[in-house]
Amino acid sequence: MRILFDTNILIDAAVKPREHHDTANRLLASAERGGVEGLVAPASITTCWYVSTSTYGVDPRPLFEYLSTVLDLARMNWPALSEALEAPVEADFEDEYIAAAGAQAGAEVVVTRNAADFRDGPLTAYRPEEVIEALG
């Protein structure tokens, strides 16, 4: 199964004091072991950088180096942008764009703590705990 990792999962993994840090890292470890094929959108990397450094004072480079060995990048290209632009104006555009990129890269699922933001998109949203439970 190909899973897109949402931005909030990356931020959780990067910032140790965050409540969901351990859960996020368990998900990434599953991708490392081959339990899932993981994807991440480039916009999630840049947002994780911004939030980690400006809000928490955490350097996310060690996480990004690890991700480069564990996850594939979902291309945020023109076709993905065109698909995201079809979403309603009130939709979370960044989530629409990363979901479109993930779907075009073969993801069927997005793991997120904000499932409502992906409700009408091309991917089925699951909470981290649901994915961990399904993986056994």
User: What string of DSSP letters covers 100-134?
Assistant: HHHHHTT--EEE-S-GGGGTTSSSEEE-HHHHHHH
pLDDT of residue 136: 80
Strand-pairing partners, residue 4, are 39, 110
Amino acid at 64: F
- The CATH number of residue 76's host domain is 3.40.50.1010
Which domain, by its residues, includes 7? 2-135
Total domain count, the chain: 1
Amino acid symbol at 65: E
pLDDT tens, the chain, 136 aa long: 899 999 999 999 999 999 999 999 999 999 999 999 999 999 999 999 999 999 999 999 999 999 999 999 999 999 999 999 999 999 999 999 999 999 999 999 999 999 999 988 899 999 999 999 998 8
How much is the pTM?
A: 0.96
